[in-house]
Amino acid sequence: GEDVEQSLFLSVREGDSSVINCTYTDSSSTYLYWYKQEPGAGLQLLTYIFSNMDMKQDQRLTVLLNKKDKHLSLRIADTQTGDSAIYFCAPRGAGSYQLTFGKGTKLSVIP
């Protein structure tokens, strides 16, 4: 089955850019999602990218997809303290409605 790897922790200063990386194993993944989880809350969809795209920009968020290397990244520009949370990468396999989640990257924003 799919295996998804993420770094567990990332710390950045307020105003800097954050880059959260993810690698996955299933080359047939069609949609790749980024979710955000704040303390004590459920997962909130941030953005997603379809596998035929290399990049998607949505306000402060930029998603980059390298299909050859099976590498996905999420860039948050002008990181704010409110961005402190755990970020999950979740690819969806072809013909499937299941998502496979990474362990999540805990982003800490230093004021």
Partner 1 sequence: DAGVIQSPRHEVTEMGQEVTLRCKPISGHDYLFWYRQTMMRGLELLIYFNNNVPIDDSGMPEDRFSAKMPNASFSTLKIQPSEPRDSAVYFCASSSTTTPQEDTQYFGPGTRLTVL
Residues that bind partner 1 in the complex, under the rule CB under 8 A? 31, 33, 35, 41-45, 48, 50, 88, 92, 97-104
Phi, psi of 82 (to 5 degrees): -70, -10
Which residue, 79 or 99, is less far from partner 1 as judged by CB?
Answer: 99
Which residue, 79 or 85, is less far from partner 1 as judged by CB?
Answer: 85
Which residue, 16 or 58, is less far from partner 1 as judged by CB?
Answer: 58
Phi, psi of 83 (to 5 degrees): -85, -10
Hey, what are 21's tokens? Answer: 């990386």
The rounded Cα 12 to chain-centroid distance in angstroms is 16
The minimum distance between CB 97 and partner 1, in angstroms, equals 6
The minimum distance between CB 6 and partner 1, in angstroms, equals 10
The minimum distance between CB 42 and partner 1, in angstroms, equals 4
The minimum distance between CB 111 and partner 1, in angstroms, equals 26
Which residue, 17 or 44, is less far from partner 1 as judged by CB?
Answer: 44
